[in-house]
Structure 1
């Protein structure tokens, strides 16, 4: 039987808005970290504006091996990657129908980005013992972007999947937001439990 699904797919407007907002948030974080990295290269003793205490610090993250996972500063990777969701979001708002392979490649890129930031979060919390505020913004942007995109993609047929899985995804489209929120809450709770110095600092004024 031939595949009756359309060859091109137009995403809903809400997804376009989400991709633009999360892409801009991630790009902001990557840009701020890139500027800070350059400042540290020029002056290794510099105190950055996001160095709040030993548990909330950007310079510590950028000075670690994990901060250069591919042999160059991680923020530079963000500068290259985050324009992609902004472009996809703009095309979506322009009601441009894109072929399945475009959505598939983009979704695989988002999956790789999510896996990378989850690894960075694990390394930061359990091995380095601190959280970089700008990195945290990038983490949250990836969490918010990922699951709504995938649930819509599978439900609409923009991403390849079996008919049964497609029907389930289409029925529970709103659960993408729930999954993103659940992941964000899990990470925040993990930070609060594993790094008790952070909640003490945040609530010290109360």
Structure 2
């Protein structure tokens, strides 16, 4: 059964990709500027440093903050352009080939896995909650869910009808799935870092 028009031109997904992409890019830009500021003046205090728990500096200056040999936010500056471009292209009437969607989904899967790893490092190793990092987490998670579910529901991956139908139904549940994911992160942060105790 061929995918419906809403699946080949998913306008709702396009709008979300643009929103997620703009927010993610701004977070990456802000973190990049903070990193440049710290490089120029090692004694400076980042504007996103609010307390020993809520801060950017420890994350930016750690090896986890430059996994590939350059600051992680630079990945975001480059990577978040893709969802914005894809979203606007869909709204303009573009229909992408199967290989493109597979590459795009692979990129979002990498971003999601990287964010999950960064969350674990932030909570369990560095013991901090970086504000701009959390903004990045908050948009990467639902963007990943939405793209993967679209790839499944549209039959871009060779899955059965039941999987496609279930993925189509789950698409409307992406916001709730994201909220549940945020809650899991919050519970882990509270358990490990006693966030409420530090705030009050």
Matches of 1:201 and 1:162, distance apart in 2:
49
> Following TM superposition, by how much is the alpha carbon of 1:172 offset from its aligned partner in structure 2, in angstroms?
3.2
Matches of 1:75 and 1:201, distance apart in 2:
27
- Alignment pair present for 1:113 and 2:111: yes
SS at match of 1:107: helix
- Alignment pair present for 1:5 and 2:2: yes
Which segment drifts farther, 134-143 or 174-183? 174-183
Q: Which residue of 2 aligns with 1:122?
A: 120
Q: Which residue of 2 aligns with 1:133?
A: 131
Q: Which residue of 2 aligns with 1:165?
A: 163
Matches of 2:117 and 2:181, distance apart in 1:
14
Structure 1 stretches lacking a partner, 5+ long: none
- Which residue among 173, 185, 188 is the counterpart of 1:187? 185
Normalising by structure 1, we get a TM-score of 0.89
- Which residue among 88, 91, 111 is the counterpart of 2:89? 91
**CA RMSD for the aligned pairs?**
1.8
Query: What number of residue pairs does the alignment pair up?
Result: 198
> Following TM superposition, by how much is the alpha carbon of 1:150 offset from its aligned partner in structure 2, in angstroms?
1.5
Q: Whose helix proportion is higher, 1 or 2?
A: 2
Matches of 1:70 and 1:176, distance apart in 2:
31
Matches of 2:174 and 2:156, distance apart in 1:
15
> Following TM superposition, by how much is the alpha carbon of 1:27 offset from its aligned partner in structure 2, in angstroms?
0.5
Matches of 2:129 and 2:72, distance apart in 1:
15
The change in CA–CA distance for 1:81 and 1:97 in structure 2 (over 3 A counts) is same
Residue deviations 1:25-71 (CA, integer Å, cap 9, x gap): 11111100100111111101101110000001101101111001111
Residue deviations 1:84-137 (CA, integer Å, cap 9, x gap): 001111112212111111111101100000000100000010011111100010
Q: Which residue of 1 aligns with 2:146?
A: 148
- Which residue among 39, 54, 57 is the counterpart of 1:56? 54
Residue deviations 1:135-178 (CA, integer Å, cap 9, x gap): 01001110121112211221122344334322332343323333
Structure 2 stretches lacking a partner, 5+ long: none
Normalising by structure 2, we get a TM-score of 0.91
SS at match of 2:59: helix
